[in-house]
Copies of this chain bind each other. A is one copy, B any other.
Amino acid sequence: MLTLGVFIMSRKSWIFTLGTEVVCGRVVNTNAAYLGRRLTLLGFEVLGVVSLIDDVELISAALSLVLRTGPDLIVTTGGLGPTYDDVTLEAVARAVGRRLAVNELALEMIKKKYEELKLPLTPERVKMAYLPEGGVVIPNDVGTAPGCLIKSGETLIASLPGVPRELERMWESFVEPRLRELSARRVVVERSFTVTNVPESSAAAIVKEVLRRYGNVYVKTHPKGHEIRAPVLEVYVQVFGDELGECERVADEVLKILKDGLESVGGVIT
């Protein structure tokens, strides 16, 4: 079936948002939401997001486990800076079996930035120029620490800073254009609507039937009200495929089936 083909062809990806401050809840992980959204709209299937404390052994072990499953892409955020607990590239190096070494281009970029203020190249500053051997520098126009792109087997690993405005600039100007070139284009069409007066447990059977019929459709219901006393559901539909027109046609069809089904059990579509 064609629809199965679409899923098999989809590119698998994982996101690692690294940093103790993320894990222990001192910051809300907006980087994960940003990257999850960008990757999904690029046609990547994101399988998981992993946040870990700044522990090089834990991070490299987790990266190794995910690498062994052979995803197309791993994006890491955080841990590229000058401090003792910035250990991401060391963890990446261990996971891919390379050594960390000074990257001359990265060193040049860092040197130039600190020279602006006549600041010397201390060991902490040079640290940011250490990349896994074979890594490609991702320039950081907003901040100081460069990122790194490296291939391990079939998996591309992109490491970016944790500061959102640095991450986002580097993603949009450098990483995403390269992913567009690499990735088989996959169209993603999204729709959503709200239905009141239907408990999620009643919608479940209707959604299940749609998913049985369509292989390239994903439907999720999000309860927003109270399941029994005042049920409100957000219904989200995603259609994947090779061709926009066909995806939109399927999306319209699925939306009609869902709305009709929900109305038949007393739902009010809003």
Contact = CB atoms under 8 A, between A and B. Distances in A.
Interface residues of A, number: 72
A149 interface: no
A48 B48 contact: no
B28 A40 contact: no
B25 A35 contact: yes
Number of copies of this chain that the complex holds: 2
A183 B259 CA distance: 49
Contacts of A58: 47-48
A23 B46 contact: yes
Contact of A40 (B25, B83, B84, B113): B25
A119 interface: yes
A256 interface: no
Interface string A51-84: 1110100100010010000000000000001111
Contacts of A28: 28-30, 32-33
B211 A84 contact: yes
Nearest to A65: B65
A268 interface: no
Interface string A182-207: 00000000000000000111111101
A144 B62 CA distance: 35
A23 B52 contact: no
Contact of A125 (B45, B201, B220): B201
A143 B33 CA distance: 26
Contacts of A51: 32, 48-50
Interface of A: 15, 20-30, 32-40, 45-53, 55, 58, 62, 65, 81-85, 113-114, 116-117, 119, 122, 124-125, 128, 142-144, 163, 199-205, 207-208, 211, 218, 220-223, 226-229, 236
9 smallest CB-CB distances across A and B, nearest first, come from A25-B36, A25-B37, A82-B201, A124-B204, A49-B51, A144-B227, A25-B33, A24-B40, A124-B201
